[in-house]
Amino acid sequence: MPSVQDARPHALSLHSLRGKITLGYTAVAAIILVASLFFVGELRTLEARVVLGQRATDLFNTTLEIRRFERNYFLHHQAADRAENSRYIALAQKMLRENRSDFAAMAGQQRLQQLRERLDAYARQMAALAQADPRQLDAMEPQVRPLGQAVVAIAEDMAGTERRQIQSTLASFRTLLLGVILSMTLLIVVIGRALSQRVVKPLKEMESSVAALSANYRETLSAPSNDREILSITAAFNHMLQELDRRQKSLMRSERMVSLGTMLSGVAHELNNPLSNISTSCQILLEEVGDSDTAAQQRYLQQIDQQTERARSIVRSLLDFSRERAFRKEAVVLRPLVAQTVGFVRCEISAKSVVQLDIPDDLSVAADAQRLQQVFVNLIRNAMEGLGPQGRIEVSAQRVQASEPPAGTALGQGCGFKGAMVEIRVADNGPGIAPDILPRIFDPFFTTKDVGHGMGLGLFVVYEIVDEHGGCIAVQSTPGQGATFIIRLPLAAADTPKGAR
């Protein structure tokens, strides 16, 4: 089988399903990556804020310790409390020194300066207390306390501000997260839709056109998109259809050869009659040579001429049947065609069986005579094959006004046709067809006969031909009481009668 498309791996392009899917996938991955990077950045900011908040809280706690030991000192006048107080003051001063820029960013340069000045002033006051007389301590307390309170207030304010900052950062982070999730979802939905438009839609279209094709495989499939994969599937499919068509033609050919085989003995038989008539006439003529009865001689010669023509016509129709040629519809007078066909296949019928024709002389159909003859050969042969000794085959035809398809399994383009048609019935009183196989008898290769006795193509070919004519075929059967095949064909245009040969 010739390669339909180049099988080398192609560079990713937007003219391929793979390209489109990869693009969509990459876009989604990029969106997720960007969003993740963004959130990592935001988390780091938040982390830094929490560290700052911790520092502000530490500073605030230290100032509270300073005040605690200050109060203890004024209450109990213990040197140890004052020592702890100054240790915490030194700690707070160290914190302020080491994290100057952080605190400045947090509370502003001015407020930080203010805190540092107050703390320094407070430290000086507390240092002065060391030299003071313990009895004066109570008197000095009101000078120290406001400074201490101011330091705690500023530190508390700073810690509070930072806490609020963290809260608002968290709040905006939440809003952002929600927004990003929403827009990501939206983007993914949009990309998904675009992908499904570009990827799933052509596939779906392809599916439905393939389904439509399976009903009529003579057409070719047209690619629903320009994607490489779709194009190559379409090309492969069309190639397959061509191949199928080619093989089917060859099957039909061999089917016809089988029919020809059946007909040959009939033809020989048919030829025998005119030939023996000719021979008899010749003998009489020979015996009477020299007689003066010219009228009688003329009669015998005429008979010879007629019988020769009859023999010729038989040979011609056999040749016609065997020759392959294009479908050609013409007005075919039905009765002579059926009569001749019956004559050809009759040899196979047992002597006691009867074939009866009930066809008006003037009934014609628009058909290809050769193919129509094939239909009758196949149907009559099938009927004969099942007949018992009292077999009976009846071929009848009449004009009908079609309004719905014939009852039974009906197949073919013309089954929905409403109006005047020719209805042909081929009925037998053979064994009939079991209901479970009835729907399958028109399938190619379906046969109930032994190997070597049937290819299972006869009815398939019949269906093909009827369908080709725009007709309809149906079968009705009661097992044990025979089968009836009903064919409806378009009427011939009345002004082009041309008898079957």
Q: Which residues bind ligand ADP (CB under 6 A)?
A: 378, 382-383, 386, 428, 430-433, 441, 446-449, 454-460, 483
* Spatial distance between the Cα atoms of 114 and 151, rounded to a whole number of angstroms: 9
* Distance in Å, CB of 450 to Mg ion, minimum: 13
Question: What residues have CB less than 8 Å from 130, skipping those under 6 apart?
Answer: 82
* Distance in Å, CB of 282 to ligand ADP, minimum: 42
* Distance in Å, CB of 440 to ligand ADP, minimum: 8
* Spatial distance between the Cα atoms of 131 and 79, rounded to a whole number of angstroms: 11
What x-and-dash track marks residues 444-463 binding Mg ion by CB under 5 A?
--------------x-----
Whose Cβ is closer to ligand ADP: residue 53's or residue 482's? 482
Number of residues in contact with Mg ion, rule: CB under 5 A? Answer: 2
Query: Residue 343 binds which one of ligand ADP, Mg ion, none, with CB within 5 to 8 A depending on kind?
Result: none
Whose Cβ is closer to ligand ADP: residue 144's or residue 433's? 433
Query: Residue 446 binds which one of Mg ion, ligand ADP, none, with CB within 5 to 8 A depending on kind?
Result: ligand ADP
* Distance in Å, CB of 217 to ligand ADP, minimum: 19
Q: Is 258 exposed, middle or buried (0-12, 13-18, 19+ CB in 10 A)?
A: middle
Q: 126 near 82, Cβ under 8 Å? A: yes
The number of CA neighbours under 13 Å toward the Cβ of 147 is 19
Question: What residues have CB less than 8 Å from 30, skipping those under 6 apart?
Answer: none
221 CA to centre of own chain: 13
Contact flag: residue 374 with Mg ion (CB under 5 A): no
Contact flag: residue 148 with Mg ion (CB under 5 A): no
Whose Cβ is closer to ligand ADP: residue 281's or residue 341's? 341
Whose Cβ is closer to ligand ADP: residue 195's or residue 383's? 383
Whose Cβ is closer to ligand ADP: residue 21's or residue 257's? 257
Question: What residues have CB less than 8 Å from 236, skipping those under 6 apart?
Answer: 4, 5
Distances (CA, A) of 181 to 45, 57, 110: 20, 34, 41
Query: Residue 96 binds which one of ligand ADP, Mg ion, none, with CB within 5 to 8 A depending on kind?
Result: none
Pick from 187, 171, 193, 120: nearest CA to 150: 120
Stretch touching Mg ion by CB under 5 A, among 1-9, 108-116, 132-140, 374-382: 374-382
- Phi, psi at residue 444, to the nearest 5°? -65, 140
* Spatial distance between the Cα atoms of 477 and 475, rounded to a whole number of angstroms: 7
Contact flag: residue 382 with Mg ion (CB under 5 A): yes
Pick from 28, 17, 27: nearest CA to 197: 17
Query: Residue 447 binds which one of ligand ADP, Mg ion, none, with CB within 5 to 8 A depending on kind?
Result: ligand ADP
Whose Cβ is closer to ligand ADP: residue 224's or residue 454's? 454
